Structure 1
């Protein structure tokens, strides 16, 4: 394997374009690849994006290939996303794309091509420490930090990853692209899900119409106050489009997918002080110590909130918070940091309105498989486990 050979995942955006350019300037033997994941004319991963990536590769004088992973993407990302919404969750398809496609299949392809590294345009940093391990850090540009969607990376992946723009601000990235004459210098960042460029509701109505069953909207007391066209069309914390004629603002507080019931309440009903996550992964390969102080994010653009890891299992953890996190949605990621370092994360499963310091007693928990689960109490919100 050539130590200076690197594969760059080129999305057709400015960040990955500059990542490829910087590696060229550092003397790497660079090969650019663009993923064909979905047939779409808007959002990310379009034919126009592939054209932009190809033009940048031509400008840089590097090889460029388009890799067709449409079948793998549908099986590993799209289908589980649909299933998650049907189950009443709010999946994050970008995280699953990173986990299953970009940092699994692409690393395998890079290795097959004799590349020592896979590089992407993510705004995050990797710190290689003296003992040979690796730390995953927030980006220099906090406003563009993308470490949240990279929490599943472990030591094996980080050893073969490069994030060339993680040390740069977005303005500097664009300035570099302009200096190099790259056509992506002023290209807008895509915020859309590639397979749902209009809206997730439109996508689900098209792709999962058979699973959309009309049901009831109920208030906190259990009274029926409206109807809906399918529980999968809602997400926890949603206000717009709820369709409950209450005369006041109400928010989705709970989705009982099995019964087709969407529950609504006041904004304050969604303040969480304890959050439980499953499918946990830790960057170092081992979890932090029980009781360790952390800052957590329960959604991509959220500000971190401090708390403590007061329960840690083989594949789950619980964080008790110093301040409320609003509307943590089952299916989204709960990601743990200490300062600028990302420790790991998992998938949100349940939350409580009250912090529960210390280790819970067995009387306060039931178990489903190896997952401890709160018993339902009047002061908690516990949904799907």
Structure 2
């Protein structure tokens, strides 16, 4: 794989033993996130959050993980819901589910295929920033994430345009 897909955001300085749990889905973005993280030296595992019994995402995520050569675990959001506020909706459970699974597995970081960036200031405060490509920016959807989540979140797609990700997908044939 070419080095053109390594963003200069500092993540490429992590050591080989650093692990990240990637929230998988059926889209190419998750697959690209896995490949970028692997290229940056992370040991990657996948997880899919089952939001309902009729959720078809699980089979697609398991298939994607198999194609990527990584482990994939299934997390049941309904089991987690009892531990959160009653007003939580299923989609709000993805990040807490990923963090809980990462903690159980001894994994420091979580990642998703969202198009946004996380930046940490000199005081150690992390914040969501817009994606480098304004047309694909999803930072508004992540703006309410708590500091505890942001401090452990990696968003590898935030540095890339959709065209660059299409090139990566073509290069890696996924």
The bucket for the TM-score relative to the shorter chain is 0.7 to 0.9
1:113-152 CA distances to partner (integer Å, 9 max, x unpaired)? 1111000111110112233222320112222211112122
Q: Which structure has the bigger radius of gyration?
A: 1
Distance in structure 2 (CA, Å) of the matches to 1:62 and 1:173: 20
Partner SS state of residue 165, structure 1: helix
Q: Does 1:27 align with 2:41?
A: yes
Residues of 1 paired with 2:164 and 2:65: CA distance?
Answer: 20
Structure 2 residue aligned with 1:147, among 139, 145, 150?
139
Partner of residue 61 from structure 1, selected from 63, 69, 76: 69
Q: Tell me the secondary structure at the aligned position of residue 131 of structure 1.
A: coil
What is residue 10 of structure 1 aligned with on the other side?
Answer: 24
Query: Hey, what's the Cα distance between the residues in 2 that align with 1:75 and 1:67?
Result: 14
Q: Check whether the contact 1:11–1:34 (CA below 8 A) recurs between aligned residues.
A: yes
Please, which runs of 5 or more residues in structure 2 have no aligned partner? Answer: 1-15
Which has the larger share of helix?
2
Partner of 1:105 in structure 2?
97
Which protein has greater RCO, CA pairs closer than 8 Å, 6+ apart?
A: 2
Compare the two structures and name the one with the higher strand fraction: 1
Residue 177 in structure 1 maps to residue 173 in structure 2? no
Answering whether residue 44 of structure 2 is matched by residue 50 of structure 1, we say no
Alpha-carbon distance change, 110 to 153 in structure 1, aligned in 2, over 3 angstroms? same
Q: Please report the RMSD computed on the Cα atoms of aligned residues, expressed in angstroms.
A: 2.5
Q: Residues 107 and 3 from structure 1, CA distance in 2 versus in 1: closer, same or farther, beyond 3 angstroms?
A: farther
Conserved in 2, the CA contact under 8 Å of 1:103 and 1:157? yes
In structure 2, relative to structure 1, the CA distance for the partners of 1:50 and 1:171 (3 Å cut) is farther
Q: CA deviation at 1:73?
A: 5.1
Provide the C-alpha distance between the structure 1 equivalents of 2:171 and 2:78, rounded to a whole number of angstroms. 34
Q: Deviations over 1:30-74 (max 9, x none)?
A: 11011111133xxxxx32x33332222222221111222234459
CA 1:71 to 1:173, structure 2 compared with 1: closer, same or farther past 3 Å? same
Matched residue pairs, number? 159
- Verify the 8 A CA contact 2:49 2:97 in the aligned structure 1: no
User: Gapped runs of 5+ residues in structure 1?
Assistant: 41-45, 82-92, 183-385
TM-score in terms of structure 1 length: 0.38
Residue matched to 2:155: 163
Partner SS state of residue 115, structure 1 = coil
User: Are the structure 2 counterparts of residues 63 and 134 from structure 1 closer, same or farther at C-alpha, using a change threshold of 3 Å?
Assistant: same
- Deviation, 1:163, is 0.4
Contact 2:109-2:154 at 8 Å conserved across structures: yes
Is residue 121 of structure 1 aligned with residue 135 of structure 2?
no
